[in-house]
Structure 1
Amino acid sequence: MVGVVLVSHSAGLAAETAALARGIAGEPVPVAAAGGTADGGLGTSFDLVEQAIRSVDRGDGVLIIPDLGSSVLTARLLEEAGRVMIADVPFVEGAVAACVAACVGGSLAEVLAAAEEARTYRKL
């Protein structure tokens, strides 16, 4: 199963988004929150993101969904072609779509495509 890592400047935002995505997609989906700094502040931690990638990697690839700014730069440092990819998608909608696609057995490319489709979701 493809793993999903949510990288945010806020530990709370990352954790709650992971909980929402897991609640919608189902418990077996490997999703990890990598939010904030190691000391609990706002920011992005290379080490936390790297640990999150390892924790969800089941051998089918990992999709990283960053929120903005330095989280994108940190994710780019950890990107590995064909194994660890970054999705440029809306944070919450992309996370839910990616986790649902992962939970039904989608490949890394399919999970990325599902997350990218979240850009077109309309609310009204």
Structure 2
Amino acid sequence: MTLPSRNIFRYKTETRQSMHSLSPFMSDDVVPGVNHSPVKAPRKVPRSPYKVLDAPALQDDFYLNLVDWSSHNVLAVGLGNCVYLWNACSSKVTKLCDLGVDDCVCSVGWAQRGTHLAVGTNNGKVQ
């Protein structure tokens, strides 16, 4: 008794091809298992920081989004009841708004173009 074929859709015998046989970048004379890409030098990370974000009273709460970077290289930071903007190109800090003593910043978010900033408050309002 003969066993049936493993695959009923097999019409010809399999040919053993290189893994890269259809790749336009690899040729058949490449030795399999050998990586021919150049070795990158390890990245050097400086031990001292380039810039330090000094944000006193920045709340450490997972549910708050108090920092957002715009496409125009401006960082918005919500600290307590105020929002500050830091321009990374000029290193200039600007106080954008003060919500008053009865409210605090819960979220800041730039629009995609980086020209408008939404500020979510503790009272449930978006400004």
TM-score, length basis structure 1: 0.28
Higher helix proportion: 1
Could you state the TM-score of these two structures normalised by the residue count of structure 2? Answer: 0.28
Larger of the two Rg values belongs to structure: 2
